[in-house]
Amino acid sequence: MSHVTHEVSNQSTPLADVNLFSGDRALHDALRFNHPAFDEARFVRLGAEAGSAAMQEHARLANLHKPVLHTHDRVGRRIDQVEFHPSYHALLGSALSHGLHGTPWSGPSGAHIERAAAFMLFTELEPSVLCPVSMTYAVTPALRANAAIFADWGARLGDTRYDARFVPFAQKPSLTMGMGMTEKQGGSDVRANTTHAEFDSDTPWGRAYRITGHKWFFSAPMCDAHLVLAQTPAGLSCFFLPRLLPDGTLNALRIQRLKDKLGNHANASSEVEFDGATAWLVGDEGRGIPQILAMGALTRLDCALGTAGLMRQALAIALHHTSERRAFGKRLIEQPLMKNVLADLAIESEAATALALRLARAIDRSEHGGDAHEAVMRRVLTPIAKFWICKRGSHFAQEAMECLGGNGYVEEEGAGTMARIYREMPLNSIWEGAGNIMALDLLRALRGADVAAALAQELAPARGAHARLDRLIAQVAERVDGSTDEIAARSLARDVALVMQAALLRQHASDAVFDAFCASRITGGGADAFGLLPTSVDFDALIARAMPH
């Protein structure tokens, strides 16, 4: 016979069945600023779906039941297929139905901005299924360099009808793509790639090669094709390598095993070998690195967007929990020191959203109409946003988790979402160029166009608003002349990010957010522990603005 020993009380309810968009004032204001004509109804629909308890359950299940690799069939033939839980397919289908992959490439001006904001919202539901979605978005500029393949594949990379079948491309309405650069001996320095390509024949898709070698990290191997790097006599070159050949036979790509990862559990990341796999040249022989980096630069945008989305999700959960949980006679959200932590997280989350969407606008505007200023901002803000937003991600997730106390550290809490967010954060920082690589890329960007003039134009709206900000802007202007040493690259990347975030918050956040941002971040620090805001800050205004409902 069971006995009731106590009543369960003072535990928070799940944050479920909320509209993720309607409750996100910061995202709304950033969207309005960057793309005033955005389709609000689209976001309300997506916000409701991504915030629903039913989709949250799919996210839980897709992470609980990790992908399983089947190298062979029952009778010993190679099949090299990964089996996913049905919830993975439900999530990926939803992401494609909302056009988070290749749709902006055929869309009107503003399409990249809308897609970026939608990507951020969907990340709050589940980030790991967005890995193939992101790569499918990013591949178009690189793939265009092979016009014949692009003619067959391009439109289907933006088709919203997800098709999970492992069948030749011609039978599928939509297609997904990934990328393979990293090898055992080098990931950042891909010049060390040993995988090699031998010319085979001229075909309707251009020059076909046989690829032999391996990739040490090869995410989303069930994508229909990947861009890979391999050596030719002319140097490292970019190739289009489909999983199934046009005649339906399995290409000679062997999935060796799946990575046992810290997080990102719903997504399969694999190690692969190519045993004379058939692939087609994309772009010029010997120009593989710039060719594939046209793709890599766009996935870097998604690392920044994804981290900003995860920050928002962690903040919303922390605000919701502390508004229901009581300690020492008050709701936690009413305790002064908890207000300081929550308000500080809210500032960081809004600043990340602002910077990530600004980068999306630079991409949109430079794609539509070739705006020269936006092209410079795109080049500079890509490493800046990837570096700084992702660097702040893990730290942010830890602090938001702490707002939930012990429950935050437990897998069951809110369907394990805080733990999931925490495990996901470092990944956005590492892949597609880890922190140092981003800071060094900024130095390269500074050697190109007149970045000082472009930044001056960007930062003008914030001038005169805050004395310390004016001083930091003046310092940054002196340091972007291309003379910064590598050893100081991170501090320059941080400072450019901070002045950009301040200028954006000045233009589309509340005065309370801007003032608190300057009072806390523009002090020569900007990376302290959270909850150190000065007492002059309007804590209640910051928290009210960030509340998810």
Ligand X SMILES: Cc1cc2nc3c(=O)[nH]c(=O)nc-3n(C[C@H](O)[C@H](O)[C@H](O)COP(=O)(O)OP(=O)(O)OC[C@H]3O[C@@H](n4cnc5c(N)ncnc54)[C@H](O)[C@@H]3O)c2cc1C
Give contact residues for ligand X (rule: CB under 6 A).
Answer: 178-182, 186-189, 217-219, 261, 264, 269, 427, 430-437
Dihedral, 382, 385, 386, 392 alpha carbons, nearest 10: 170
The residue of the chain with the least Cβ separation from ligand X equals 187
- Select 271 or 350, whichever has its Cβ closest to ligand X: 271
| Cβ-based neighbours of 381, under 8 Å, separated by 6 or more | 355, 358, 359, 362, 500
User: Smallest gap, in angstroms, from Cβ of residue 263 to ligand X?
Assistant: 8
Q: Residues 243, 222: contact at Cβ < 8 Å?
A: yes
Distance of closest approach, residue 280 Cβ to ligand X, in angstroms: 19
Cβ atoms of 8 and 541 closer than 8 Å? no
Kindly tell me which of 26 and 442 has the beta carbon lying closer to ligand X. Answer: 442
DSSP letters along 228-280, please?
EEEEETTEEEEEEEESB-TTSPBPSEEEEEE---SS-TTS-EEEEEEEEEEEE
The whole-angstrom separation of Cα 516 and Cα 539 is: 9
Question: Of 357 and 421, which CB lies nearer to ligand X in the complex structure?
Answer: 421
Q: How far is the CB of 173 from ligand X (least distance, A)?
A: 24
Where are any strands of DSSP class E within 114-205?
177-180, 196-203
- Least separation in angstroms between residue 437's CB and ligand X is 5
Nearest to 228 by CA among 204, 268, 202, 194: 194
CB of 493 to ligand X, least distance (A): 12
Query: How long a stretch of residues is the chain?
Result: 549
DSSP states of 480-521? TTS---GGGHHHHHHHHHHHHHHHHHHHHS-HHHHHHHHHHH
Minimum Å gap between C-beta 8 and ligand X is 38
- In single-letter form, the type of residue at position 155 comes to A
Contact 172, 165 (CB under 8 A): yes
Task: Please state whether 172 falls in left (phi above 0), alpha (psi between -120 and 50) or beta.
Answer: beta
Q: Which is nearer to ligand X, 283 or 433 (CB)?
A: 433
Minimum distance of ligand X from residue 410's CB (angstroms): 24
- In whole angstroms, the minimum distance from the beta carbon of 193 to ligand X comes to 10
> What whole-number distance in Å separates Cα of residue 547 and Cα of residue 23?
7
245 vs 430, beta carbon nearer ligand X: 430
- Output 244 or 434, the one with its CB closest to ligand X: 434
CB atoms within 10 A of CB 463: 14
CA end-to-end distance (rounded Å), the chain: 42
Select 160 or 436, whichever has its Cβ closest to ligand X: 436
Residue closer to ligand X by CB (options 290, 534) is: 290
Q: How far is the CB of 307 from ligand X (least distance, A)?
A: 15
Residue (176 or 182) nearer to ligand X, CB = 182
